[in-house]
């Protein structure tokens, strides 16, 4: 047997680390929002829908690769407190290998899916997505290794840099008059910022040597479950406009930019910080498994409390904010419902992290798969695009929560 790896202290995160992750989440959230806020000002209504569809597709694929980060966090965190088996692989090369396979799949299948999503620049956009997939796999593996080792300052630098560089590149392409394709290419190129962070930060270079708590075959199996869960969550979290486009009359969808922007803006206050803290959440649940469901219940109550308050504010001042920020009109009831739906999505993310920390990879994937399947199925309901959107984003997360919470309850009963 190999020697245990040295690693961070058992404390999940100190106040300094929590502050740095918090700042990074704000920077990432604001950067993403600024890009979205620029869209109505630099593109026509039709180009807005096109760019937002590309944005949705790209971040849906990034969301799938995010499964690498989640499992890498769990595997590296576990390896810091356990004996690492002989032959345990380094997690970053494994993540890059997975990314390479995905990039090949994206390129090979592009003749099937690209005509339905891209009206122009099709070969170029396929190239952007393909390269971005490989780059982001490295980002996810390094971010997961940093989270698992508790290197929160460098993790925060990585998260903030990737988002802020994306904003900078989009602004530069706009200033240079490169228009739609330039902004789309800039969005994908930012996924390579991790290479610069690895070059400049010692902790990031050290993460390249981080090993998993298991050998290669179990690591790939666990990562596969995590990526299935991530793919399912991406369908709801960032890929929803793609699903909406595929289930909506093209003429109706061409005018859907206000609704898509509303979905993005109502989710940002809850989901962007939670996504930045997801590595912290997984590590925290791992470190506190002995405390049972209490930690999850407390965090869940906080999330839904924020969502309820936010929904009330969205109903009252949301329409004015939409008019001011995006120049579009969206009804208050739609904004309130979308804000509550964001809270439900945040809960599924939180319960998923708890189930993953319990080592129940299959149940973790099943919960997200059920949530995404119910969401897409509900989109076929015969109603207006607003009603279908609200119903789908409510029913899916509720279904996923039922699966995840049943696993948490089963684990609690088993520990008695």
Six-digit token pair at 268?
């940002």
What is the mean pLDDT of the segment spanning 234-248?
Answer: 83
pLDDT value at residue 206: 94
End-to-end CA distance of the chain: 32
Within-domain flag for 4: no
Range of the structural domain that residue 59 is part of = 15-415
Q: Is 120 left (phi over 0), alpha (psi -120 to 50) or beta?
A: beta
Is 121 contained in some domain? yes
Token pair for residue 358?
């319990």
Evaluate whether 91 touches 141 at the Cβ level (below 8 Å).
yes
The token pair at 91 is 């997690």
What pLDDT shows up at residue 92? 97
412 class by beta-carbon count within 10 Å (0-12 exposed, 13-18 middle, 19+ buried):
middle
Q: Which of 305, 403, 392, 319 is nearest to 362 (CA)?
A: 403
What are the start-end ranges of the E strands in 322-375? none
Lowest-pLDDT range of 99-108, 236-245, 327-336, 382-391: 236-245
What average pLDDT does the segment 84-93 reach? 91
Residue 1 lies inside a defined structural domain of this protein: no
Contact between 163 and 90 under an 8 Å Cβ cutoff? The reply is no
pLDDT recorded at residue 6: 37
Distance from C-alpha of 69 to C-alpha of 278, rounded to nearest angstrom: 10
pLDDT score at 334:
93
The number of domains in the chain is 1
Q: Which residue has the tokens 């952007």?
A: 128
User: Cβ distance 210 to 68 under 8 Å?
Assistant: no
Radius of gyration of the chain (CA): 20
Q: Does the pLDDT of residue 213 top 70, yes or no? A: yes
**pLDDT value of position 56:** 80
Classify residue 3: in a domain, yes or no: no
Q: At 33, is the pLDDT very low, low, confident or very high (cuts 50, 70, 90)?
A: confident
Q: Which of 95, 181, 86, 188 is nearest to 144 (CA)?
A: 95
Residue-wise pLDDT for 284-324, tens only, equals: 787 776 666 777 888 888 888 989 999 999 999 989 988 88
pLDDT tens-digit map of 156-204 = 999 999 999 999 999 998 888 877 888 899 999 999 999 999 999 999 9
Contact of 345 with 267, CB cutoff 8 Å:
yes
pTM score, whole prediction: 0.78
- Say if CB 11 and CB 146 are below 8 A apart: no
- Of 148, 155, 130, 115, nearest to 62 by C-alpha is 130
Residue 393 lies in a domain: yes
pLDDT of residue 2 exceeding 70? no
The pLDDT mean for the chain works out to 86
| 5 inside domain | no
User: Hey, which residues does 91 pair with through a beta bridge?
Assistant: none
48 assigned to some structural domain: yes
Does any domain span residue 129? yes
pLDDT at 87 over 70: yes
């Amino acid at each position: 047997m190999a020697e245990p790896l040295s690693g961070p202290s058992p404390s999940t995160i100190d106040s300094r680390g929590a502050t740095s992750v918090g700042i990074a989440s704000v920077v990432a959230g604001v950067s993403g929002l600024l890009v979205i806020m620029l869209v109505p000002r630099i593109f026509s209504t039709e180009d807005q829908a096109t760019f937002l569809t590309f944005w949705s597709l790209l971040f849906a694929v990034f969301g799938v690769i995010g499964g690498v980060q989640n499992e890498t966090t769990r595997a590296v965190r576990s390896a810091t407190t356990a004996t690492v088996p002989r032959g345990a692989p380094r997690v970053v090369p494994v993540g890059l290998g997975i990314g390479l396979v995905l990039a090949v799949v994206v390129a090979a299948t592009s003749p099937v899916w690209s005509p339905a999503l891209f009206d122009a620049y099709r070969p170029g956009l396929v190239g952007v997505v393909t390269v971005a997939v490989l780059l982001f796999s490295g980002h996810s593996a390094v971010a997961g290794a940093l989270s698992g080792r508790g290197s929160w300052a460098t993790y925060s630098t990585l998260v903030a840099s990737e988002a802020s560089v994306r904003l900078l590149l989009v602004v530069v392409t706009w200033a240079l008059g490169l228009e739609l394709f330039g902004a789309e290419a800039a969005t994908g190129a930012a996924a390579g910022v991790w290479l610069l962070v690895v070059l400049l930060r010692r902790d990031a270079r050290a993460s390249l040597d981080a090993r998993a708590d298991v050998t290669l075959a179990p690591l790939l199996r666990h990562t596969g479950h995590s990526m299935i869960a991530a793919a399912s969550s991406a369908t709801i979290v960032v890929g929803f406009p793609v699903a909406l486009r595929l289930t909506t009359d093209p003429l109706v969808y061409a005018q859907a930019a206000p609704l898509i922007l509303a979905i993005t803006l109502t989710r940002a206050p809850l989901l962007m910080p939670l996504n930045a803290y997801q590595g912290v959440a997984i590590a925290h649940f791992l470190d506190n498994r002995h405390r049972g469901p209490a930690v999850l219940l407390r965090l869940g109550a906080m999330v839904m409390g924020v969502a309820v308050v936010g929904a009330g504010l969205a109903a009252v001042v949301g329409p004015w904010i939409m008019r001011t920020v995006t120049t579009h009109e969206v009804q208050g009831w739609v904004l309130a419902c979308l804000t509550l739906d964001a809270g439900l999505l945040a809960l599924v993310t939180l319960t998923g992290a708890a189930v993953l920390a319990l080592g129940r990879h299959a149940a973790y994937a099943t919960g997200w798969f059920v949530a995404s399947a119910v969401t897409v199925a509900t989109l076929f309901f015969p109603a207006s695009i607003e009603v279908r959107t609200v119903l789908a984003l409510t029913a899916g997360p509720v279904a996923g929560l039922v699966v995840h919470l049943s696993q948490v309850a089963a684990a609690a009963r088993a520990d008695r």
